Amino acid sequence: KAEREEMLARIKQLLLQEDAALVAHYYVHEDLQRLAEETGGCVSDSLDMARFGKEHSASTLVVAGVRFMGETAKILSPEKRVLMPTLEAECSLDLGCPADEFAAFCDAHPDYTVVVYANTSAAVKARADYVVTSSIAVDLIEHLHRRGEKVLWAPDRHLGAYIRKKTGADMLLWDASCIVHDEFRTQALLDLKQQHPEAGILVHPESPASVIDLADAVGSTSQLIKAAASLPHPKFIVATDSGIFYKMRQAAPEKRFIEAPTGGHSATCRSCAHCPWMAMNSLHNLLQTLESGANEIHVEESLRLGALKSTQRMLDFAR
Ligand code: 13P
Ligand code: SF4
């Protein structure tokens, strides 16, 4: 316990000394989320992480999340030093969309507007017309559809199918998925709902369509937290990464939150829905990073400038 307190104190001191702001995603360990809150950093979804990093005056951003989040911070703020507790934290959507294959797909469909999810590399973003996160994906594609544009979407096939269904847009979909959300199981969810008939169901749109169909609210992490507070249900079954429970409990302390069942679910599995890459972030590697200045994010300048155009359009649209 004393060791942990010492570590927290040392991290806080280094954040001040290095003029650094800690930017954490809702899926990282609650120790990191709490620390970001306590030190004037931010805990948020991927859109607000990008906004916060760009607008904050700190000269160093420490991004606790996965690599695309660090890269997005660097794309938007090249003058800032961007560090991450680990550079090993990937995302299956990013890995499932190699830039060269994606460029060939775009080249084969020149009459489509290219929209990519933020969960992609800088090189993929550089090939896109627009970047979106799940909190504005439906609105942006609705807007493009109304203007008569056809959309090439990558990489998440479930989110793409959900947007297509909501907007009726003509969309071509890349075929990748999130290894966490892809695991939610429809029948097991229906069985759990029978045991808790008064529970609402909250679903992130990276989940399969048959799971989304059962939802009382579908949305980005921040939209799901808001729904937990505003919907009348006394409890919720939550189909997204379990890291979100820390903030959901803060937003609605009187309510109960239950993990939605996954393929790997069993009575002994306490946290089946947890991103293994988000889980690589810890107080230990955060401290090491601040002490050593290691794990800095670099984005090659021509790629950065390409990715900046599509990423800036996301911020402009979200305004
Ligand atoms: P949000 O933009 O909803 O925070 O989602 C990011 C993510 O990686 C979800 O798996
Ligand atoms: Fe990527 Fe899924 Fe992890 Fe989010 S939860 S970072 S989409 S692998």
* pLDDT (tens digit per residue) in 136-174: 999 999 999 999 999 999 999 999 999 999 999 999 999
69-107 burial, b if ≥16 CB within 10 A, otherwise e? Answer: bbbbbbbbbeebbbbbbbeebebbbbebbebeebeebbe
Mean pLDDT of 221-226: 98
**SS3 call for 313:** helix
Mean pLDDT of 208-219: 98
Looking at residue 1, what is its pLDDT? 84
For residue 178, the ligand 2 atom closest to its alpha carbon is 2
**pLDDT(270) > 50:** no
What percent of the chain is modeled with pLDDT above 90?
96
Q: Give residue 272's pLDDT band: very low, low, confident or very high (50, 70, 90).
A: confident
10 CB neighbour count, 10 Å cutoff:
14
* Banded model confidence at residue 4, pLDDT cuts 50, 70, 90: very high
In degrees, rounded to 5, the angle at the alpha carbon of residue 314 between the alpha carbons of residues 308 and 319 is: 125
Output the residue whose Cα is nearest ligand 2's atom 3.
275
State the distance from the centre of ligand 1 to the C-alpha of 241, rounded, in angstroms: 9
Q: Are 180 and 208 in contact (CB under 8 A)?
A: no
Domains by residue range for the chain, with CATH: 2-89+279-298 (3.40.50.10800), 93-178 (3.40.50.10800), 181-274 (3.40.50.10800)
**In this predicted structure, what is the pLDDT of residue 77?**
98
Confidence tier at 264 by pLDDT (50, 70, 90): low
Please give the biggest Cα pair distance in the chain.
Answer: 61
Distance, in Å, from the CA atom of 316 to the CA atom of 135, rounded to the nearest integer, reads: 14
241 Cβ below 6 A of ligand 2: yes
Give the distance (Å) from ligand 1 centre to CA of residue 168: 23
Six-digit token string for 21: 């702001």
Q: Which two tokens stand for residue 120?
A: 């992609």
- What's the whole-number average pLDDT of the chain? 96
* Best of 66, 132, 220 for a ligand 2 pocket test (most atoms within 8 Å of beta carbon): 66
* Ligand 2 atom having least distance to the Cα of 68: 6
Residue 202 banded pLDDT, cuts 50, 70, 90: very high
**Average pLDDT of the segment spanning 91-113:** 98
Q: What is the mean pLDDT of residues 217-244?
A: 98
